[in-house]
Amino acid sequence: MSLAVASAIAGCAPQAAPERQASPLTFGVLGSSCAPDRLARLRAAGVSVVELPLAWDRYEPAPGQVDASYVAQSRARLAACRAAGLQVVLSPGLQYPPAWVRELPDATLLGGVGGRPAGVDMVFSAAVRGATDEYLGRLAADVGFDGVAAVRVGTTRTGELGYPGPGAGGHTGEYWAFSAPAQHGSPLPGWVPGRPTVTAAQADTWFTWYAGALSAAVGRQIDRLRALGFTGRVHLPVAGRGVLPADRAAAVAGLLDGRNDPDGALERGLDYPAIFAALAARDDADRIDVDFTGLDDVSAVRARAQAQDGCRAGDEDGLLERADVADWSAQRFTSALARRLGLGLVGENPGSPDAPHTGGAADSDPLVDQLVRAPAYAAGCGMTTFLFAFEGDLFAGSAPDLDDYAGRIAAAEGRG
């Protein structure tokens, strides 16, 4: 860990973090249709929060041109959820950029060996940033934030924090900071991770900058929302546990040559201790929630065999110096880090392991087990909201269904 990062984290130590009032867990769903018949059934089941997803490419198919019918549909969906008395978490859909955005100058990321991943550069590109700001402005004017409790921000094609994962653009072990705007801000222009032309201290400085660019990117999104008048909570979806401190130290000692990076967290820039510390230093930190997107993911299944899956009292103590965190589930480490820095916490299960982009593996828990275990993990980790992935699965006519979810909610609230 760099001295700058250590200093930032020390400045946000747990004893200095604002006290958070304990509150019962609230329950919601991801991917809500806001269809009136479903809303009534969700309310009856005990659901009080819905995530409303929008899509930028459908909203603004051409530069400066909005699809009036989609705008009206989005406004109606928000109004229906609001009328049903549900809290709305709005996903603006920045992870679905229109095709024309990719054609803007320097609109895509570039890897160290030439890879061009799908999607657009939400981190370094000024042109993409400008288009994003304009879209959010139109969204605020056309749909508005009335009745919106939280807005999600992120930088990846899945809407989460990070750079593209291993294999994006056709290459493994590639870092994504080699476009012209990225190189303009790089502390080591031209240096490609793994090349033995720098010192370990310089490699540490480079990785600190690389990860810091992510916190700056989401910070700009938050600033834009605030400038547009949104005063509610911001959710930052994160997956996994990121780069563990011991792995980070070994990786920079090896000049980021691929060692100590079992899940690609280094290429994705997921230095959660540094990124969370930057968010915790913001003036509006008391309205920022880390949204852990993998409650009961495969890391929890594997850690369960060693009784290291669930959060425990005292997890925050000496967190960044503990050697045993490598055996913990991702939810346990990431939640402890957020609590340590005074950030809010919400969470969601990954979804069916057979579905794309859910990180499923052969030994992942099936969706029926996630429905049982994930809410318990959320409560045990001090989260305020659990969101089930996804609403559509509860109405698909197979297990688990909405009645199953209602039973879990009733049991958690002492009614079952």
Q: Is a pLDDT exceeding 90 seen at residue 2?
A: no
The mean pLDDT value for 190-210 works out to 98
Q: Is a pLDDT exceeding 60 seen at residue 411?
A: yes
d(CA 97, CA 265): 24
pLDDT of 115 reads 92
Angle at 240 between CA 344 and CA 24, to 5 degrees: 30
- Model confidence band, residue 22 (pLDDT cutoffs 50, 70, 90): low
| pLDDT cut 90: percent of the chain above it | 88
Phi, psi at 234, each rounded to 5°:
-115, 130
pLDDT of 23 reads 65
The mean pLDDT value for 323-346 works out to 97
pLDDT (tens digit per residue) in 24-57: 899 999 999 999 999 999 999 999 999 999 999 9
pLDDT of 277 reads 98
pLDDT of 415 reads 78
- Model confidence band, residue 416 (pLDDT cutoffs 50, 70, 90): low
d(CA 178, CA 113): 9
pLDDT (tens digit per residue) in 280-317: 999 999 999 999 999 999 999 999 999 999 999 999 99
- Model confidence band, residue 21 (pLDDT cutoffs 50, 70, 90): very low
The mean pLDDT value for 193-222 works out to 98
The mean pLDDT value for 105-116 works out to 95
Instruction: Supply the mean pLDDT for the chain.
Output: 93
Q: Is a pLDDT exceeding 70 seen at residue 13?
A: no
The mean pLDDT value for 93-114 works out to 96
pLDDT of 108 reads 97
Closest Cα to residue 266, out of 251, 250, 246? Answer: 251
The mean pLDDT value for 386-391 works out to 98
pTM: predicted TM-score of the whole model, two decimal places: 0.93
| pLDDT cut 70: percent of the chain above it | 94
More confident residue, 1 or 113: 113
- Model confidence band, residue 16 (pLDDT cutoffs 50, 70, 90): very low
The mean pLDDT value for 395-407 works out to 97
Map residue 222 onto helix, strand or coil.
Answer: helix
Q: Which CATH architecture has domain 3-412?
A: Alpha-Beta Barrel (3.20)
The mean pLDDT value for 191-212 works out to 98
| Contacts for 14 with CB less than 8 Å, ≥ 6 apart | 316, 339, 340, 341, 342
The mean pLDDT value for 105-133 works out to 96
Angle at 401 between CA 399 and CA 405, to 5 degrees: 120
- Model confidence band, residue 354 (pLDDT cutoffs 50, 70, 90): confident
Q: Is a pLDDT exceeding 90 seen at residue 173?
A: no
Residues 44 and 64 sit within 8 Å (Cβ to Cβ): no
Domain residue limits, the chain: 3-412
- Model confidence band, residue 358 (pLDDT cutoffs 50, 70, 90): confident
d(CA 281, CA 164): 26
Map residue 352 onto helix, strand or coil.
Answer: coil
- Model confidence band, residue 166 (pLDDT cutoffs 50, 70, 90): confident
Strands 288-292 and 148-152: unpaired
| CA distances (Å), origin 392, targets 31, 92, 369, 372, 400 | 7, 19, 17, 18, 11
